[in-house]
Amino acid sequence: MGALGFVRGTARVSGKVYLVGAGPGAPDLLTIRAARLLGQADIVLHDALVHPDTLALACGAILVDVGKRSGGRSTDQRFICRRLLAAARRHDCVVRLKGGDPMLFGRAQEEIDALREAGVDFEIVPGVTAALAASAATQVPLTHRGLSRSVSFVTPRVGRTEGTSDWARTVAASDTSALYMAARDAVTTRDGLLAQGMDPSTPVLLVEHASLPDERHLAGQLSHLPDLVAQLGDGPAVLLVGEAMRVAMRSAPSPRARVSGT
């Protein structure tokens, strides 16, 4: 029995599991490989925020919602792993459909470990992550020649069983940072970055529902982050931080951007 408690070889496994990135939301940002696998799938275990039109591509599959929502209903990760193993024993093509990219804040390692320990064949299919979709939607590059040569992908969120995170120091040391699952803790996020010596006037850009028709952009200064977050709806949002945001917004602002506090 492995560290996660999954026993290898207890039942014949003939199926293959695909950890597939659903992208940031818009169905037409799926990769061709992802769309093909959804069409072939016997069963799809999907995250909560996957677009209904994306799920509709799995027209011959059983759909199982195993989603996690920040601050809301959440499916235990060990349960998800057990469902994956059970599905692989019963079906030939199993798709685990994750929002964004499976390998970035997608809890992929737990599922990879469970599949390996059980001897289940699997493949990972990348997807467009939210930070890249937000950058494209706002026409604000994450890098800028002579100004931003480093990009960090960070989350301040820490699980119940995890230790403390040095996320704020990572952001302060990067030219540009994309913060996931940070908007709902705006005061903590702002204060953590200011405590690392970041300039209160550092430009920030919030993008809610990146790539979808109801996408929203809010831009301003780090010191005003809680006020900006208060204007968001209840959708998922990514926070972009760094001087590249200021230069790009000044030269080519998005027509849907709402600028405040600058």
| Region 155-175 average pLDDT | 83
| Res. 193 pLDDT band, cuts 50 70 90 | very high
What is the 3-state composition of the chain as percent helix, strand, coil, each rounded to the nearest 5?
A: 35, 25, 45
Sequence-distant (≥ 6) Cβ neighbours of residue 204 within 8 angstroms? 219, 220, 221, 222, 225, 228, 239, 240, 241, 245
25: left (phi over 0), alpha (psi -120 to 50) or beta: left
CATH 3.40.1010.10 fits 16-125, yes or no: yes
**Helix H segments across 118-237?**
130-138, 167-173, 186-195, 225-229
Total-model pTM: 0.87
CATH superfamily of domain region 130-259:
Tetrapyrrole methylase, C-terminal domain (3.30.950.10)
Amino acid 157: pLDDT:
80
Segments of the chain assigned to CATH 3.40.1010.10: 16-125
Of all residues in the chain, what percent carry a pLDDT higher than 70? Answer: 84
Q: What is the pLDDT of residue 9?
A: 47
| Digit-coded pLDDT (tens) for 40-87 | 999 999 999 999 999 999 999 999 999 866 555 667 889 999 999 999
- Record the tokens describing residue 188, joined without a space: 């903590």
Instruction: Find all residues with CB under 8 Å of 123, minimum gap 6, and list them.
Output: 16, 17, 18, 19
- State the span(s) of the chain assigned CATH 3.30.950.10: 130-259
User: Where residue 161 falls among pLDDT bands split at 50, 70, 90?
Assistant: low
> What positions carry a catalytic annotation?
47, 68, 181
